[in-house]
Chains A and B, each alone.
Chain A
């Protein structure tokens, strides 16, 4: 069976800075892939390239075997229909109420009647552990953890085939982070969706990932099953998962 998402030789540069230098990655249907890597390693750029928010300089990105790099607006919208995305900061529309945020995709893009979309929104809010009364509030009235949950509800509202998670636990306390991790695992398995997450939180990576890939200096230096990451045999990976300052990965601050 062909992979759900397949990347071959994806490169992306910003001026002289080569952020991605030939990424090959396959994610099977129903699989949860976690990409780990330090800040500035190009994780977000990789995600945005797959999503189509950025166009890679070269290489191929196939979704369900369909090449998506050169898609025009119309075809791009069809591919987008398969996607759900949880943004790092939530990216909730602050001018809309919580339920309108969750119902945005169904109403604006799928043409669902507002009354029905509202029911869907309330059901999705329930799935992430939020009561219907939360739906009447505005995003700015919610705590960070609640905003993340609303953003998760919005990401799953259209029951996407593929969900992307951009640093889902960043900025949350350890308990709320674990709540979000549990919700992600539950939502992904309930929908039978394929997931790609990027994170530098190892606890989160171990919990939500079936497989883990490590991005370092624009390349995937290791990928394998989550259970194998502790004996990867790669010094970079070992340094990263144990969070050591000493090792082959040199932080930029040392060059000053």
Chain B
């Protein structure tokens, strides 16, 4: 039994388009619900803690080692043409524009996206989502909207903290390993840093936060078929969120800097 290549290609294209349509209508419905009361403040605060506060250790760890390795690697490269003085600048610009948002978002996607899909997916298969509806509570408003809001708000804060910790990592390696003068290192860091570098990173973070929550909620909400379904939902949430983060990263960068 062989399926012709064209049939397979067509089938995959259709499935892909169907997924895009279904995610879009889910997102649209969620955004519509976000704009009208009631808002469940307690849930928003809880999700902010879950997404933001409890992700601090893992994001901090990622940031400090990224900053450290950036300083070390760019030293190896830049020493070849005596451009060591550019290292602080390279570290801070790479972090704020690119590595801070992307790496933090990928870590959060793995940590939070999976948990979100598992929690909502379990609620789906144990009929807890139906129970919400019968208690006159819109599950979009109660489950999805707080997670989306928390994602959009907390990711930029996380990334800002990651930027600072990352620069600190670069500073430590620069001063204690590569024999930079500490004042000069910091001055170099600040002098060439532009507002747009940080700002574009934070915009990215907000978009990534939305995507992580959206994927976690969507895959959890649409999961079916017991434990296996929830497992699939969890995997799909992390994989799709990561892929979307990397894709959107390029397009946001282009929108900001292509001119």
Residues of A within 8 A of B (CB): 48, 51-53, 73, 77, 80-81, 83-85, 87-89, 91-94, 104-105, 108-109, 154, 158
Give the 6 A-B CB pairs with smallest separation, nearest first: A109-B136, A91-B131, A91-B127, A85-B134, A105-B135, A80-B136
Query: Which single member of B123, B128, B134, B138 contacts A51 (CB below 8 Å)?
Result: B134
Chain A residue nearest to B122 (CB atoms) is A94
Give chain B nearest CB distance to A102 CB in angstroms: 11
Residue of A nearest to B129 (CB): A91
A53 in contact with B130 given A105-B136, A108-B137, A109-B135 (CB within 8 Å): yes
Q: Identify 14 residue pairs between A and B in the complex whose beta-carbon atoms are under 8 Å apart, listed by A's number.
A: A73-B138, A80-B135, A84-B134, A85-B131, A89-B127, A91-B126, A91-B128, A105-B135, A105-B136, A108-B136, A108-B137, A108-B142, A109-B137, A154-B135
B residues sitting closer than 8 Å to A (CB atoms) are 40, 123, 126-128, 130-131, 133-138, 142
Task: Considering the complex, give the chain B residue whose CB is closest to the CB of A53.
Answer: B130
Q: In the assembled complex, which residues on chain A have CB atoms less than 8 Å from the CB atom of B135? A: 80, 104-105, 108-109, 154, 158
Once A73-B138, A108-B142 are accepted as A-B contacts, the answer to whether A87 and B133 lie under 8 Å apart by CB is no
Q: Could you tell me the distance between the alpha carbons of A189 and B136 in the complex, rounded to whole angstroms? A: 23
How far in angstroms is the closest Cβ of chain A from B181? 53
CB-CB under 8 A from B126, the residues of chain A are: 89, 91
Whether A91 contacts B130 in the complex (CB less than 8 A), given A73-B138, A108-B142, comes out as yes
Residue numbers in B under 8 Å from A51 (CB-CB): 130, 133-134
Q: Report the separation of the CA atoms of residues A88 and B126 in the bound assembly, to the nearest whole angstrom.
A: 9
Given contacts A85-B134, A104-B135, A109-B135, contact A93 B128 (CB under 8 A): yes
A-side contacts of B138, CB under 8 Å: 73, 77
Which chain A residue shows the least CB distance to B130?
Answer: A53
Complex CA gap A3/B135 in Å reads: 24
Contact A87 B130 (CB under 8 A): yes
Question: Are A104 and B137 in contact, CB atoms less than 8 angstroms apart?
Answer: yes
> Shortest distance in angstroms between B51's beta carbon and chain A's nearest beta carbon?
16
Interfacial chain A residues near B142, Cβ < 8 Å: 108
The listed residue with most B CB atoms (<10 A of its CB), out of A52, A80, A108, is A108
Known: A87-B131, A108-B142. 19 other contacts (CB 8 A): A51-B130, A51-B133, A51-B134, A52-B133, A53-B130, A77-B138, A80-B133, A80-B135, A80-B136, A91-B130, A91-B131, A92-B131, A93-B128, A93-B131, A94-B128, A104-B135, A104-B137, A108-B137, A109-B135
- The answer for the CA separation of A83 and B126 in the assembled complex, in Å, is 19
B-side contacts of A73, CB under 8 Å: 138
Question: Which single residue of chain B is at the shortest CB-CB distance from A82?
Answer: B136
- Find out whether the CB atom of B134 lies under 8 angstroms from the CB atom of A77: no
Closest-CB distance, B169 to chain A (whole angstroms): 36
Q: How far is the CB of B6 from chain A (nearest CB, A)?
A: 25
Collect the chain A residues with CB atoms within 8 Å of residue B130's CB: 48, 51, 53, 85, 87, 91
The reply to whether A87 and B127 form a contact with Cβ atoms under 8 Å apart is: yes
User: Which residues of A sit under 8 angstroms from B127, Cβ to Cβ?
Assistant: 87-89, 91
Q: How far is the CA of A69 from the CA of B131 in the complex (A)?
A: 19
Determine the chain A residues whose CB is within 8 A of the CB of B40 once the complex forms: 108
Residue with the highest number of chain A CB atoms closer than 10 Å, among B126, B128, B131: B131
* Measured CA separation A108–B136 after assembly (Å): 8
Closest chain B residue, CB of each to CB of A95: B119
Most B Cβ at <10 Å: residue of A48, A52, A53, A84: A53
CB-defined contacts of B136 to chain A, threshold 8 Å: 77, 80-81, 105, 108-109
Residues of B within 8 A of A89 (CB): 126-127
Distance from A131 Cβ to chain B, minimum over Cβ atoms (Å): 24
Q: Within 8 Å CB of A77, what residues of B? A: 136, 138
Contacts of B134 in A (CB 8 A): 51, 53, 80, 83-85
A170–B229 Cα distance when bound, in Å, is 23
* A77 to B132 alpha-carbon distance, docked (Å): 11
Q: Which residue of B lies closest to A106 (CB)?
A: B135
Looking at A81, A84, A87, the one whose CB has the most chain B CB atoms below 10 A away is A87
Bound-state Cα–Cα, A81 to B136, Å: 6
Most chain A beta-carbon neighbours within 10 Å: one of B128, B134, B142: B134
Residues in A with CB closer than 8 Å to B128 are: 91-94
A164, closest chain B residue (CB): B134
Minimum Cβ distance to chain B for residue A6 (Å): 20
Q: How far is the CB of B150 from chain A (nearest CB, A)?
A: 15
